[in-house]
Structure 1
Amino acid sequence: MSRRFYKLVPLGLLMLMLSACSPAELRPIDPNNGIWDRYFVYPLSSFMDWLAEIMWDEYGLSILVVTIIIRFLILPLTLKQHRSSKQMQAIQPELLKIKEKYKDNVQKQQEETMKLFQKNNVNPLAGCFPLLVQMPILIALYNAIMRNSDIATHSFLWMELGQPDPFYILPVLAALTTYLQQKVMAVQMNPQMRVLMVIFPILIFVMAMNFPAALPLYWVYSNVFTIIQSYIIYRPSKK
């Protein structure tokens, strides 16, 4: 299975976790309600409130700024993941030779694979760690947006941020940018990847139809940032 498939597994898990949380089940943010709210959700929510105050009371712009800041903060993790991916890609031909040579001896195959990793100073799990670190940050941002009562009462452009987009423009943009994001990241796709590139945008579209517009708006912002970032990072490898 392609290494890019594993990159998308945490994204799929994140989407499933978010889809399991209906807006009705989200309680108000309370800084006295445990470590999660006090140190993660409440600071993010308060920061968005402060940004909205200085940006003409526009929470749509506030969400944009917070998204950009967070994405830049986790950029070192993204670059680390990219370097790990490049290392794995470099030794891929040797891995294939080992699998072919020891296809009838699984134990020997594993031993030679570990020797190859040690020889090239490659950690096969290094690419997963940055993704696991990012997930709590993204989930905290999701909570800060969805549980902020002030965001729910404001509008942005044609949208009421506390209600689903009645014109389905935002769900379409969220699904389209999700597809483009995967397209930019997946230079070479196998059949499994092609299936995922269809499933994830559809999942995002269905969720965006039902969630308050503030959340799909964040997805669009985040996807556009990722598209630009991935184009810059992966462009040299394409050449």
Structure 2
Amino acid sequence: MRKKLPLIITLILLVGLLTGCTSYNEPINSNSTGIWNEWFVWPLSQFITYIANIFGGSYGMAIIICTIIVRLVLLPLMIKQTKSSGNMQLIQPEIKKLREKYSSKDQETQKKLQQETMKLFQEHNVNPVAGCLPLLIQMPILIAFYHAINRTPEIKEHTFLWFQMGAHDPYYILPVIAAVTTFISQKIMMGSMGNSNPQMAMMTYIMPIMILVLAINFPAALALYWVIGNIFMIFQTYFVIAPMRKKYNNQTQTGGTKK
């Protein structure tokens, strides 16, 4: 988690930077050029509009449905990430033995250590970068959602429940819910890992604050996207990820290994 913290902060700052670029604030349409517009923003705008038409023109319902679809698409990746991190947990004793065996700091020994470590990863289906993949995939989607909402007049001007989709929540209800559900999601995630890692404990409180600040300043539809995503994540962690991690924790305690 210590390695993820700078990445998370960097990506959140990147969201703020890209969403403020004036060159990307023009209305999106079929004539918009550029890879970002043609492959991300315009297709997402069209998809949201298509779903909205199914639900009687409700763009709020469209955002909810699209968010669930995105989460369902990412679910296999989350499961794969959990399996990879679980297998990493199981082979820690073997990694420790390798480091003790190749403890010399000369270049040849360190090269041998890397080769043996990678071989161990392959044998146990461990991907060292798997933990960051869901986050790296979600950030472009989040930015694309922002642009699709802000640059599609029909979405931006639509009113859903008590808020206008393209404006800030006037009562700050969604930002607060987004922060609270982020906190709950982080707590459940930390509990499922069965440890008291100080970096994770810190992120449990830092992330909700970051999301609160972003949700206050971003369109209400984006806060809605985050809230629905968090609720999905809570159920996903509780019913899918947590049982998997519990199994790996039990195997670790009993000294078991899994390929």
Work out whether the TM-score is over 0.5. Answer: yes
Aligned counterpart, 1:185: 189
Unaligned 5+ residue runs, structure 2? 248-259
Residue 155 of structure 1 deviates from its aligned partner by 1.3
Q: Give, in whole Å, the separation in 1 of the partners of 2:134 and 2:9.
A: 16
Aligned counterpart, 2:246: 238
Taking a change above 3 Å as real, the CA distance of residues 225 and 13 of structure 1, as seen in their structure-2 partners, is farther
Q: How does 1:76-87 map to 2 (within 5 A)?
A: 76-87=76-87
Taking a change above 3 Å as real, the CA distance of residues 62 and 96 of structure 1, as seen in their structure-2 partners, is same
Determine if contact 1:177/1:224 at 8 Å carries over to the other structure: yes
Q: Counterpart of 1:20 in 2: which secondary structure?
A: helix
TM-score of the superposition, structure 2-length normalised?
0.79
Taking a change above 3 Å as real, the CA distance of residues 116 and 105 of structure 1, as seen in their structure-2 partners, is farther
Corresponding letter in the other structure for 2:198: P
- Root-mean-square deviation over aligned CA pairs: 2.6
Corresponding letter in the other structure for 2:173: I
Equivalent residue pairs, number: 236
Identity %: 51
Aligned counterpart, 1:173: 177
Residue 141 of structure 1 deviates from its aligned partner by 2.7
Corresponding letter in the other structure for 1:86: G
Determine if contact 2:19/2:147 at 8 Å carries over to the other structure: no
TM-score of the superposition, structure 1-length normalised?
0.84
Q: How does 1:100-115 map to 2 (within 5 A)?
A: 105=105, 107=110, 110=114, 112-115=116-119
Determine if contact 2:178/2:212 at 8 Å carries over to the other structure: yes
Determine if contact 1:48/1:66 at 8 Å carries over to the other structure: yes
Q: Give, in whole Å, the separation in 2 of the partners of 1:163 and 1:8.
A: 30
Aligned counterpart, 1:40: 40
Taking a change above 3 Å as real, the CA distance of residues 156 and 8 of structure 1, as seen in their structure-2 partners, is farther
Aligned mate of 2:206, from 191, 195, 199: 199
Determine if contact 1:146/1:215 at 8 Å carries over to the other structure: no
Taking a change above 3 Å as real, the CA distance of residues 5 and 177 of structure 1, as seen in their structure-2 partners, is farther
Aligned counterpart, 2:162: 158
Determine if contact 1:80/1:127 at 8 Å carries over to the other structure: no
Determine if contact 2:149/2:165 at 8 Å carries over to the other structure: no
Unaligned 5+ residue runs, structure 1? none
Q: Please say which structure displays the higher CA radius of gyration.
A: 2
Determine if contact 1:179/1:201 at 8 Å carries over to the other structure: yes
Aligned mate of 1:123, from 119, 123, 127: 127
Taking a change above 3 Å as real, the CA distance of residues 212 and 122 of structure 1, as seen in their structure-2 partners, is closer
Residue 39 of structure 1 deviates from its aligned partner by 2.3
Determine if contact 1:7/1:128 at 8 Å carries over to the other structure: yes
Q: Counterpart of 1:178 in 2: which secondary structure?
A: helix
Which piece of structure 1 moves more, 57-66 or 23-32?
23-32
Residue 97 of structure 1 deviates from its aligned partner by 4.3
Aligned counterpart, 1:229: 236
Q: Give, in whole Å, the separation in 2 of the partners of 1:149 and 1:99.
A: 58
Residue 96 of structure 1 deviates from its aligned partner by 3.6
Determine if contact 1:30/1:38 at 8 Å carries over to the other structure: no
Residue 167 of structure 1 deviates from its aligned partner by 1.4
